[in-house]
Structure 1
Amino acid sequence: MISRGEYGILGPDGDCWPQMACRVPSHGDEFDWEGDLPLKYHPKDLIIYEMHVRGFTRHDSSMTDFPGTYRGVVEKLDHLKELGVNCIELMPCHEFNELEYFSYNSVLGDYKMNFWGYSTINYFSPMVRYSSAGLSSCGQDAINEFKTLIKEAHKRGIEVLMDVVFNHTAEGNENGPVLSFRGIDNSMYYMLAPKGEFYNYSGCGNTLNCNHPAVRQFIVDCLRYWVTEMHVDGFRFDLASILTRSSSLWDAVNVFGKPIEGDLLTTGTPLTSPPLIDMISNDPILRGVKLIAEAWDTGGLYQVGTFPHWGIWSEWNGKYRDVVRQFIKGTDGFSGAFAESLCGSPNLYQEGGRRPWNSVNFVCAHDGFTLADLVSYNDKHNLANGEDNNDGESHNNSWNCGQEGEFAGISVKRLRKRQMRNFFVCLMVSQGIPMTYMGDEYGHTKGGNNNSYCHDNYINYFRWDKKEESSLDFYRFCSLMTKFRHECESLGLSDFPTAERLQWHGHLPGQPDWSETSRFVAYTMVDSVKGELYIAFNASHLPVTVALPERPGYRWEPLVDTSKPAPFDFLSSDLPEREVAVKQYAQFLDSNWYPMLSYSSIILLLSPETNA
């Protein structure tokens, strides 16, 4: 088959589907890695940035020479270094068909695309139309440009993870196109019902038969290829719970004639020790890279905290997202769960012998509201998708801060900015691996669209002009918070914090309030670098004055207060007005009191009295 060379352009016969299935590189295709080696960061030290290759630089404001490509990302890697990110998670870069959903969208007057790319055609090929050269060298340029992206990221101390989609393919249901696996062996590669229908645990028409011996070997070979040949540092597995489902009855018997698990297994039964996960976890190459599971699927299998892990898998912690959203917007009954989230969710991971870094903490991702929209909309606004607003999640745990939409009064906008800072503080002080989403560092809005999978336009494009506008405001705050996390030994622990290091407080020291109506959580954390931190979140609509723990010979100094406008929201040491701001609070701090406005969070540092 012949691939289209230009993104979003129909084939010569107006066909949406012709694709290049594969290419065997010829001799002379050697790539100069310049001695590139894996960075091998400990997972506890990561700050992940979820990114879409095309969307990152496609907007005109990127001013890149190669917008929307791997080379375009390379041109902007220094932005991520400045932001404090040391790991990027690339949304699908396997070859996929962006024209899969191609149809005229009368709402916007353009055409719908498969922009996200969660519909793989070939697992061994990088997306050709993300290359600046298209098909000029039959895809070799795409391979080299992808390798260059990895190499240049590593030079800047940034690891690269791939979002991989082994739960389904682009071949749809039993009536779908024949592209690759369906032309080889339908019953081997897909989960089939007794009458030949496709089981659909993915929500995309088919389910890959992941635990069939041949299929799981294929998946392991593919992953090894991307590690050994392309130097990627790990993987995030989309709808990973499908990888734990059993194969068909016939396939559930191994080569020795013994059932993999139990006596009878129906197709899709969850396995406690799935062969595929076992193979990946014990592979000498793959067990040394980052492995992250999206621990659920659309068939109702939700495994956050229980995903088979062999001690090395991390998980997208969807429960963290839901709890943090509820608490920060001021919902009663979440103070205790919020405290668990700050500690790395030991309620989910400690019993299984896991660690805080098994939790990938996130508030926003490509699915759902952006951070700015999370505080600007109570309801989804997906009319631009052309589906009468029937698509997308309706339960977002969002709050518009008093007015729906982007256009709001000054007081509402101030509160929204405060809430964005609160979410980011929470993310950066929580144990576990923080993950942010592309554009949230400047407050990207999609106009309330929480399911923007089909838009190759401004809705999904990173706005570099908006980032510049935010350089002294929210972007500055985010950069300083990531730097602060890297500096603090106590904010990325190898194990869950104990009472020797962490002490909970309420409005008074040592008196936390875990009642149903409590909207206040505070704690002190001993840090070997910073000495001691006092961190507090007031999610109430009322201001409070908190009494700080007394430390003879020391005083508390403000560092972060999200109720303050920039640049006083983060009193960095290089801020000219810092001393003036600190003196404004001297009268409170001298008596160990600190006033907190409603919906705000603070970080205070303990300093010797001689430095006051």
Structure 2
Amino acid sequence: MRNWKFNHIDFSTYPGYSGKDLGVFWSPEKTTFKIWAPTAQMVELRLYKDGVHGESYYKTNLQKKENGTWGTILTGDYEGKFYTFRVNDGEWLDEVAGIYARCVGANGLRGMIYNPNTTNPEEWVFDNGPRYNSFTYAVIYETHVRDFSIAENSGIENKGKFLGFTEEGTRPPEGVKTGIDHLKELGVTHVHLLPVNDFVTVDEEKPLEKYNWGYDPMHYNALEGSYATDPYDGRKRIVEFKKLVKALHANGIGVILDVVFNHTYYAKESVFNQIVPGYFYRQKEDGSFSNASGCGNEVASEREMVRKYIIDTLNYWVEEFHVDGFRFDLMGIHDLKTMQEIRKSLDKIDRGLFLYGEGWAADQSPMPESKRAVKKNTSAMRRIASFNDDFRDALKGNHGDKKSKGFISGLNLREEAIKFGITAAVYHPQVNYGYIDTVETAWAAEPDQCINYVSCHDNYTLWDKLKQSLPKATDEDLRKRVKLAGALVLTSQGVPLLHAGVDFCRTKGGNGNSYKSPDSVNQIDWSRKNEYLDVFEYFQKLIQLRKNHPAFRMTSADAIRRDLNFCAEYKIGVVSYCLDGKAAGDSWSKVFLIFNGNEEEVELPLPEGRYKVVADANSINEEGVKVVEDTVVVEPISLKILVHAENG
């Protein structure tokens, strides 16, 4: 029986390989196969006519090549055939499609040989996504392929599929816009998709029988078949995902992929372990798999060929699928050098690609925190951002405790943590870090390193968190708090991220961990858009406000320290500050923002001059709804944005 403990092995002695030819590559005349398997004594290649069923019709052995690689060439046209590798390192391991499989049959059991040129939509060569001078211009909308369109009332034909994102003119019975039309109407710049690469726990042959977010990776270079109209022909999922990308790009919306390199669903049985046992994972002192992911294993990003694999994979998604960035799940498990090398490698392709991730792990790692991409090391990862969970919890309360409260739910003494988010987690001399429970000091070097958010796929939706922490609140009261949260996220410095449906008070019925809950819990209920249309229109106008005014999206920490001033006298439950719009290149010379988290109104003195009110609890009008001077009254659980009246 195989020993799955590896404390007797020094993996640094394994030879590295720098070539770009690992995997399976088709041409009409021949197909080449090459894998890195330095411990192998024999590698068998099997060919099949079917991706799921039947016996292999051809077997051959790969030849040993340089630096731990094995390869062979089959002459002739093998397009449409399926393949597996089987490694013998003293005993036979399981049959797998290999770690570089880019096209697979149903459930990823076998790789598929294909002509990539046949997977490109019309005019694909001209496809490209939006690019900005600074990532602070981005407004990201996080969604799940299946959630986005699966509801009966989505009006979308290809429900739960990649192609659901390509349909225009879709409507629910209430007549509001859904799908891609909704995204355009809202005004977001990027869609962040939960994992679209091949994952384990949804049976692609029976996709509606089970649900999962997809954080259980199997193949990192191949797409998930349950999102395709045909899971058996691996080419279909490639074609259809490219159509998704092209449709979003055609409407000025970028595509960011959620990538889960920190762990695999299987440990011993994983594709990695069936090719090079133990190498791709970190181990404890006793040689067993360590578990910083909380999922039974953690990927050893610091090892040479693991780092190469991650970088090769990301480069492939950019070059083949034209994606615009990546979000790294549990980024705090990865080593800093790998994240830095990822940035360098992707910059050679396109400096406009946006990278960000979760700056934490789920459990202990054998790698010291000082060497990992945790939040407090963000400043060492230039042009890579971390999620600002400090701001998230300050806004609504602890993410895991349904009864806890934050600034928008009426909890006082969270003002410094709110200021921390407003200043994009960069150092600001007017933020008193000693009064923030979750941090000791700033952790971002520049504002484009901070992702500000109040909710995401994890934990309770914002609406559900507010309902549970404020059980006696009325529907109208909860709407006000959602609007206040949206205003804080979308006017703060840094990069805002919105959980899909937060703009119309999305609910999951109080489910705080819906990763495998049914569609009835996870689906976006588009009828709520009509029911909470005032909230949607408020978010829509906030996004347009942010786009129109660079004062809300300064591009440097120095500018934030210089041109953002907490200019008003402190009041409990109130955060207020001034922006020097002129210095930021804004058409508004002076902007004064007040956020009142109290249950009662507050009156504040205004900076010298006359001001027009451009935003309050229910309306946003850049022309101004009225002019005030000397003092301003801010209603409970609401905001005021005022602009110096010299602006017109």
The 3 A distance-change label for structure 1 pair 466 and 493 is same
Taking the TM superposition and a 5 Å limit, the aligned residue runs for 1:374-453 are 374-378=465-469, 400=470, 402-403=471-472, 412-453=474-515
User: 2:356 is matched with which residue: 287, 292, 296?
Assistant: 292
1:74-126 Cα distance to aligned partner (Å, 9 max, x none): 222221121010011110000112338999xxxxxx96x45110011111111
2:525 aligned with 1:525, yes or no? no
Q: Equivalent residue for 1:119?
A: 216
Tell me if structure 2 keeps the 8 A contact 1:89–1:163: yes
Q: Equivalent residue for 1:501?
A: 563
User: 1:58 is matched with which residue: 150, 153, 158?
Assistant: 150
Q: Equivalent residue for 1:97?
A: 200
Query: Which amino acid letter does the alignment assign opposite residue 526 of structure 1?
Result: D
Q: Equivalent residue for 2:188?
A: 85
The 3 A distance-change label for structure 1 pair 521 and 432 is same
How far does residue 204 in structure 1 lie from its aligned partner after superposition?
0.8
1:363-420 Cα distance to aligned partner (Å, 9 max, x none): 1000011121121113xxxxxxxxxxxxxxxxxxxxx2x52xxxx6xxx222211111
Distance 1:311 1:240 in 2: 14
Q: In terms of mean alpha carbon deviation, does 186-195 or 69-78 score higher?
A: 186-195
Tell me if structure 2 keeps the 8 A contact 1:304–1:319: no
SS of 2:279 mapped into structure 1: helix
Tell me if structure 1 keeps the 8 A contact 2:143–2:499: yes
Distance 1:43 1:543 in 2: 36
How far does residue 314 in structure 1 lie from its aligned partner after superposition?
0.8
Q: Equivalent residue for 1:171?
A: 266
Tell me if structure 1 keeps the 8 A contact 2:378–2:444: no
Any stretches of 5+ residues in structure 1 without a counterpart?
5-16, 104-109, 245-272, 379-399
Tell me if structure 1 keeps the 8 A contact 2:160–2:227: yes
SS of 2:614 mapped into structure 1: strand
The 3 A distance-change label for structure 1 pair 349 and 533 is farther
1:156-198 Cα distance to aligned partner (Å, 9 max, x none): 11111100000111214x5xxx241121122111223354422
How far does residue 317 in structure 1 lie from its aligned partner after superposition?
1.4
Distance 1:101 1:73 in 2: 19
Query: Which amino acid letter does the alignment assign opposite residue 306 of structure 1?
Result: N
How far does residue 34 in structure 1 lie from its aligned partner after superposition?
4.7
Taking the TM superposition and a 5 Å limit, the aligned residue runs for 1:467-478 are 467-471=529-533, 473-478=534-539
Tell me if structure 2 keeps the 8 A contact 1:467–1:475: yes
Tell me if structure 2 keeps the 8 A contact 1:526–1:533: yes
1:458-494 Cα distance to aligned partner (Å, 9 max, x none): 21111122213333x1111110110011001101101
The 3 A distance-change label for structure 1 pair 132 and 84 is same
Q: Higher relative contact order at CA 8 Å, sep ≥6: structure 1 or structure 2?
A: 1
The 3 A distance-change label for structure 1 pair 19 and 499 is closer
SS of 2:540 mapped into structure 1: helix
How far does residue 336 in structure 1 lie from its aligned partner after superposition?
2.1
Tell me if structure 1 keeps the 8 A contact 2:51–2:112: no
Q: Equivalent residue for 1:481?
A: 542
Distance 2:563 2:193 in 1: 36
Distance 2:109 2:362 in 1: 29
User: 1:329 is matched with which residue: 400, 409, 413?
Assistant: 409
Tell me if structure 1 keeps the 8 A contact 2:136–2:447: yes
Distance 1:191 1:478 in 2: 43
The 3 A distance-change label for structure 1 pair 447 and 27 is closer
Distance 1:421 1:470 in 2: 11
Tell me if structure 2 keeps the 8 A contact 1:55–1:460: yes
How far does residue 422 in structure 1 lie from its aligned partner after superposition?
0.6
Q: Equivalent residue for 1:156?
A: 251
Distance 2:604 2:544 in 1: 27
Distance 1:424 1:593 in 2: 25
Count how many residue pairs are aligned between Structure 1 and Structure 2: 498
The 3 A distance-change label for structure 1 pair 493 and 349 is farther
User: 2:418 is matched with which residue: 321, 330, 338?
Assistant: 338
Q: Equivalent residue for 1:387?
A: none
SS of 1:188 mapped into structure 2: coil
2:456 aligned with 1:365, yes or no? yes
Query: Which amino acid letter does the alignment assign opposite residue 387 of structure 2?
Result: W
Distance 1:101 1:334 in 2: 46
Q: How large is the RMSD of aligned CA atoms in angstroms?
A: 2.8
> TM-score under structure 2 normalisation?
0.72
User: 1:317 is matched with which residue: 382, 388, 412?
Assistant: 388
Distance 1:27 1:446 in 2: 39
The 3 A distance-change label for structure 1 pair 207 and 70 is same
SS of 1:556 mapped into structure 2: strand
Tell me if structure 2 keeps the 8 A contact 1:21–1:122: no
2:525 aligned with 1:463, yes or no? yes
Tell me if structure 1 keeps the 8 A contact 2:613–2:643: yes
User: 2:638 is matched with which residue: 566, 581, 600?
Assistant: 600
Distance 1:534 1:227 in 2: 41
The percentage of aligned residue pairs carrying the same residue is: 27
Tell me if structure 1 keeps the 8 A contact 2:197–2:220: yes
Distance 1:140 1:130 in 2: 13
Distance 2:245 2:468 in 1: 37
Tell me if structure 2 keeps the 8 A contact 1:546–1:593: yes
SS of 2:118 mapped into structure 1: coil
Query: Which amino acid letter does the alignment assign opposite residue 550 of structure 1?
Result: E
